[in-house]
Amino acid sequence: MLGALWLLPVIFAFWSAFHPAEFSTHFELFAPLTTDNFVRAWSHAPFPRYLFNTFILVTLILAAQFILCTLAAYGFARFNFFGKNIVFALVLLQLMIMPEVLLVENYRTISRLGLLDTISAIGLPYMASAFGIFLLRQSFKTIPKELVEAAQVEGVSSVGILWKVYVPLARSTYIAYGLVSVSYHWNNFLWPLVITSSVNSRPLTVGLAIFGAPESGVDWSIITAATVMTMAPLLVAFILFQRQFVQSFMHSGIK
């Protein structure tokens, strides 16, 4: 029942998007279907550009996170260095801080870097993700030391061991984390709103909000059409990957 309640706004959005304006608040089972709303929404605001921005954004963030978090997690999981526990405690500390709290400070830093209103600016605060480091470290730690020793005896370097042993064996963690990261950043709103000011870098969430602003009157059918366009890629991806999504969370426990 809770699921049904949850789905209601989504159902409404789909309903309203595919039917002409008169039926957006009228539930008639055999109302005519139309894609007119999508066409109008598409031309009303630079959605292609927004889509492009969002796509670049999540890809950039994910790539940076994979690289940075893998390297950091490897260091924590395998090596002993001076101050290791303190540094890890700092990493965990980051987990407790919501990035929204740092809004003003981050804005100041980005403007000093001269990166205001760029896609990389949206992504920068999130790239060294403590959550990613933590997840990967835990995953790396489950890999038996004997595998590492066997690789050492075979003549593989430390970096080689990371690439050939640790990363392939942590695949399910990467998938799980990737899905979480992509969905989080696709839907992220507040920080991108603050840091972007033009179409050049604005992601879909902000673009949609501006589009739906009431100055032009509330035309639900167009707004919902735009919303569906925003949701669609993620929804499709989730449906395609849902088995892996659930399985990866399960497997990372059992291994």
Partner 1 sequence: MSTIILKNIYKSWGTTQVLTKINFKCENGELLVLLGPSGCGKSTTLRLIAGLETPTSGIVEIGGKDVSNLPPVKRNISMVFQNYALFPHLNVAENIIFGLKARKVPKKEQKKRLEDTAALLGLSDLLKRKPAQLSGGQRQRVALGRSIVAQVSVCLMDEPLSNLDAKLRQEMRQEIRSLQQRLKMTMIYVTHDQVEAMTIADRIILIKNGVIEQHGTPEDLYNQPATAFTGSFIGNPPMNILTPDSPVMAACSSLLSIKEATTPYLLGVRPENIRISEDSGIKVMVEAIEYLGADTLIVCRSAKQIITLTVKGKAGVSTGDHLRLNWKPEHIHLFDAKDGRRMEALPKDITS
Q: Rule CB under 8 A: choose which of 95, 147, 236, 246 binds partner 1.
A: 147
Nearest residue to 242 (alpha-carbon basis) of 183, 158, 170, 166: 183
Backbone angles phi, psi at 187, to 5 degrees: -95, 0
Which of these segments, 36-44, 128-136, 139-147, 185-193, binds partner 1 (CB under 8 A)? 139-147
Q: Rule CB under 8 A: choose which of 3, 83, 114, 155 binds partner 1.
A: 155
Which of these segments, 36-44, 52-60, 153-161, 233-241, binds partner 1 (CB under 8 A)? 153-161
Backbone angles phi, psi at 168, to 5 degrees: -60, -35
The 160-189 contact track toward partner 1, x by CB under 8 A, reads x---xx--xx-x------------------
Nearest residue to 229 (alpha-carbon basis) of 46, 83, 30, 27: 46
For 69-84, the DSSP string reads: HHHHHHHHHH---TTH
Which of these segments, 50-58, 63-71, 126-134, 152-160, binds partner 1 (CB under 8 A)? 152-160
Interactions with partner 1, residue window 22-61 (CB under 8 A): none
| Residue pointed to by tokens 């992504």 | 123
Q: Rule CB under 8 A: choose which of 3, 80, 98, 146 binds partner 1.
A: 146
Q: Rule CB under 8 A: choose which of 144, 214, 217, 253 binds partner 1.
A: 144
Residue 142 contacts partner 1 per CB under 8 A? no
Please say whether the dihedral angle defined by the alpha carbons of residues 127, 51, 237 and 232, taken in this order, is positive or negative: positive
Is residue 42 packed enough to be buried (19+ CB in 10 Å), middle (13-18) or exposed (0-12)? middle
Token couple for 55: 């796509």
Residues engaged in binding partner 1 (CB under 8 A): 144, 146-147, 149-156, 160, 164-165, 168-169, 171
